[in-house]
Structures are given as structure tokens and as C-alpha cells.
Amino acid sequence: MPGAGKDEFIQVCVEEGFTDLHMGNAVRKFAAESEIPVSDADIGKFATSEREKFGKDVWARRTLMNVESPLVVIDGLRSTEELDFFIREADADRTCLVSVFASRKTRLDRIVRRNRMDDVHTLAELVRRDNRELEWGVGKAIALADIMLVNESTLDDFRTEARSTIRNILGRGC
């Protein structure tokens, strides 16, 4: 979910040798090409309409087109259809779904602090965004995670846990 700490997890992955791909970057790229305004609501509507037109795995397909490295971490999976696509199209034995969880209050505090242009700014906006992403199926994807990291502590603690998790995945898989 937004603000849980995925970007921090990905940063540790990069430090461990992974290439990072953000599915949200594909959404923002295609939204810009379609001249969609840069707001959470407008980009969310665009992402939903593209899923309706081209299938629920459209953002996974558009993201996988940019994979150039054998060691990749992909951020932004929102549905089981996207997960199924990655399992089918990538090496299923080397695909590992990691979920990062934080409470809504913690996530809102982080989101407000990071102050990204397309982010929400209030609890009501976060609830709407959470509900939109849950409608896309992110809850099912979270439930199917191979590994669940709870991120309610300090940044240093989370980064230590993330590094240990990544090294375990590299050493023996999910």
C-alpha cells in the first residue's frame, strides 16, 4: 500500500545489486503521453481505465518490456493478474513476492512528509486511494506474498530487516 516503505525496500535491493523497475513509472509515462494531469485522482482514473481496456495485467506487461537485467525488483504490483503474468513470463522459480506492510496512520505520516506531487495529503484522500487499490486486487496480492515485512519501526531497523530478507532470498529463494 502507498507509504508502507516499498521505496526503502527497493533502495536496499539496489544496494544489493538489483535493478529496480517501478510499475508506477510506466503508469506515469503513459499518462504523460496521454496528457493526463499529474494528480493522484487523475492518474488513478487513467490506470483504472487502461486496466479496463487492455486487461488487469497491462501495467505488468508494460513494465516487463523494460527488463534488461536478470536480477530485478519490480515495485507496484496491484493484482493477482499482474502476479500471474510475472510468474508466467518471468522465471517462476526465481519470482518472489515481498509485501511491505505499515498501518494507515504510519503510511499517512510518511506520505505527507515525502510530499510527492501526485500523493494524497489527507486521511480521506488516503482512504480513497487505499480503496481504489484494494478494488484493483492489491489485498489479494498482499495475501499471496511469499514474504511479509512489517514496517512500523525506525528506518534503520527496517533497512536491516530488508537487507537480511534480500540476502536470504538470494541465498535460498523464497
Rg (C-alpha) for the chain, rounded Å, is: 16
Average pLDDT taken over every residue of the chain: 92
Tens of pLDDT along 145-168? 999 999 999 999 999 999 999 999
| Cell representation of residue 84 | 500471474
Task: Tell me the angle at which helices 123-136 and 40-54 cross, rounded to the nearest 10 degrees.
Answer: 10
Domains identified in the chain and CATH numbers: 6-172 (3.40.50.300)
pTM: 0.84
pLDDT confidence tier of residue 94, bands split at 50, 70 and 90:
confident
Tens of pLDDT along 29-57? 999 999 999 888 899 899 999 999 999 99
Q: State the average pLDDT over residues 11-16.
A: 96
In this prediction, residue 93 carries a pLDDT of 76
Instruction: List the one residue out of 22, 26, 28 whose CA is nearest residue 9.
Output: 22
| Cell representation of residue 133 | 487499490
Percentages (nearest 5) of helix, strand, coil residues in the chain: 60, 10, 30
- d(C-alpha 76, C-alpha 20), whole Å: 11
Asked whether the beta carbons of 151 and 100 are under 8 A apart, the reply is yes
